[in-house]
A = this chain, B = another copy of it.
Amino acid sequence: MNKFNSISAPVIRRLPRYYRFLGELKEKGVTRVSSKELSDKMGFTASLIRQDLNCFGGFGQQGYGYSVDSLYNEIGQILGLEHSYNAILLGAGNLGRAVATHMSFEKRGFRLTGIFDIDESKVGAVIRDIPVSHMSGLEKFCFENHTDAAILCVPKSAAPELSEKLYQIGIRNYWNFSHYDLSVDHDDIIVENVHLNDSLMILCYRISAGEGEKL
């Protein structure tokens, strides 16, 4: 439990976006920002932004705006990004390789410690300094290396058996790209699902409806 548990779910869902924009401002050397400026950049109303940031005692000062640094650090702390959760990635196909290669794990509270695949031809390839191991060594690996989370980049058909195995090993946290609904089998797990098709459907809607503005 952290000290911000009273913050509502919709606010939490928006925090990564604030964090991202504040990070960009930091990089540009900007030190203060008003809710109006954040609003223009992010497409939320200034009043929603003030409300959101008030939830955790934001650092706004009438006429001076928010300290970019303080706000950035505070949001990072709420999100728990100072952690270094050990994560393994399952499935070293295109998707798994893309996730392993492109994600900023270390800046997002994670450390990628192992990559596994069922396909012998992928075993031994090195991605992000990590050699791909065969799935048969999964249990031993997790036994010897504390593992907090699993990233599922396997096909939907492989997910039920694999996720059951991971559950039996004791893994309770999942970043799930597999399109299989893990919560069907267990309700004591944390699953963050990535549904790229949902995003594609929203694009289709917006083109069809002629909606340029942000949804």
Contact = CB atoms under 8 A, between A and B. Distances in A.
B13 A202 contact: yes
Interface of A: 1-2, 4-5, 9, 12-13, 15-17, 19-20, 78-81, 83, 85, 93-95, 97-99, 101-105, 107-110, 148-149, 173, 175, 187-190, 192, 194-212, 215
Nearest to A212: B190
A198 to B, nearest CB: 4
A131 to B, nearest CB: 17
A215 B102 CA distance: 25
A13 B79 CA distance: 23
A209 B5 contact: yes
A195 B98 contact: no
Contacts of A20: 195, 197-198
What are the 6 closest A-B residue pairs judged by CB atoms, nearest first?
A: A80-B208, A109-B204, A16-B198, A94-B98, A192-B203, A95-B98
Given A102-B95, A215-B13, A85 B207 contact: yes
Nearest to A75: B201
Given A93-B98, A110-B204, 15 more contacts: A5-B211, A15-B201, A16-B201, A20-B198, A79-B205, A80-B209, A94-B101, A94-B102, A97-B98, A103-B196, A109-B204, A173-B203, A175-B203, A189-B212, A194-B196
